[in-house]
Chains A and B, each alone.
Chain A
């Protein structure tokens, strides 16, 4: 093996001993971890570091950007026409749906005013692109190309066109990290659309499967039921579809039923997702008093 000519001298015996120096650095690292985990002091440090590693993410993401650009630039006429036709058809259908929606929305608003329960689904939304960057394969996390400069905040809900996608876990300056609803550390409060039954859907680590561990054997749920966000955690706006129940197993000897569901969002195929600014009423006072800190653990992630 080749080695540098100046490297032959042993490093031991010069300066503080190896043990002392490694001990020092280990203690600093543990201090960092405690400060980060317990007290969330290090959000600013994280932001600075996210800027340092941004070029790395940018370079790794480049091939994906270039292919998309090429795909758009060198599209032939045929493909553009078929795409255009499909989009026109989709838009027509959507417009038809919207006509009824407008009247429903007004009616809903009127009813809500009667009940004095204003709904505050905010209108602000921003499209973010998922950077083609692989993080830990065992966890379902992605990097988005929007960060603090775009107003992204920790705990922000992410949707795609089909349903709930995940939430923001870390905000960097130009990028942010998101956790998918299928991550084993994620849980989302849901409601069964048909029966109104409330429960929690946990990620399993497989993109096509969520687990509903807290349903008793008598619970009113069956395969094909749509699960929608209940809005209880204060993170996800209520009403958006989350998953469809695929399997219900009731065994007489067990207290709880085994229920599985398939996320409606295209978790592993999305290229662009939507960040929405949602501030539920009952959480507003809380958010104002504690703006900098993270939302509590009731927000949808497991404690």
Chain B
């Protein structure tokens, strides 16, 4: 199917950009507040292209995160799948929400994501807590409207 192929390409290159942003150097002052770009993207595609961006897409994105920044192979894969599953479960409801309400739910999802990572690192015996750990969730919620408007524009233009 033609639209499917185009959709896949779009999902691929946006994911690649999100991966670049994940490790792009930032000044130390704001480094801890870096949004989880790839996770936000997975949530976005889950809401907007649920047939293309399924759970396996989320899982593969998580594995890439593991290869890129992870200490334990599989920790990001697991958390990505859980978040994507929750997003899939509520996608019909979430996609008709106004964007600010979506941002609030994204905040909860990213908090859940970081809590899961925290628990996993606890099992692996590498846990240390800092309030900085929760900053990316706030940053993610703040950047959500921007991300949605940019990607919606991309989608509209490439139609």
Contacts and interface: CB of A to CB of B under 8 A. Distances in A.
B126 A185 contact: yes
Interface string B59-101: 1001110111101111101100110110011001001000000
Nearest to B157: A2
A33 B72 contact: yes
A1 B50 contact: no
B104 interface: no
Contact of A4 (B7, B69, B148): B7
Contacts of B126: 185
Interface in A55-81: 56-57, 59-60, 64
Contacts, number: 145
Contact of A184 (B56, B81, B82, B128): B128
B4 A6 contact: yes
Question: How would you classify the secondary structure of chain B's contact residues: helix, strand, loop or mixed?
Answer: helix
Contact of A21 (B55, B67, B95, B125): B55
A18 interface: yes
Given A10-B92, A21-B55, A60-B23, A29 B77 contact: yes
A46 B19 contact: no
A29 B152 contact: no
Interface of A: 1-7, 9-11, 18-19, 21-22, 25-26, 28-33, 35-37, 42, 45-46, 49-50, 52-53, 56-57, 59-60, 64, 132-139, 169, 184-185, 205, 303
Given A137-B132, A205-B130, 17 more contacts: A4-B48, A18-B88, A22-B81, A22-B84, A29-B78, A32-B77, A37-B72, A46-B73, A56-B20, A57-B68, A134-B23, A134-B24, A134-B34, A135-B69, A137-B31, A138-B32, A205-B128
Interface of B: 1, 3-4, 7, 16, 19-20, 23-26, 28, 31-32, 34, 47-52, 54-56, 59, 62-64, 66-69, 71-75, 77-78, 81-82, 84-85, 88-89, 92, 95, 120, 124-126, 128, 130, 132-133, 148, 152, 155-156, 159
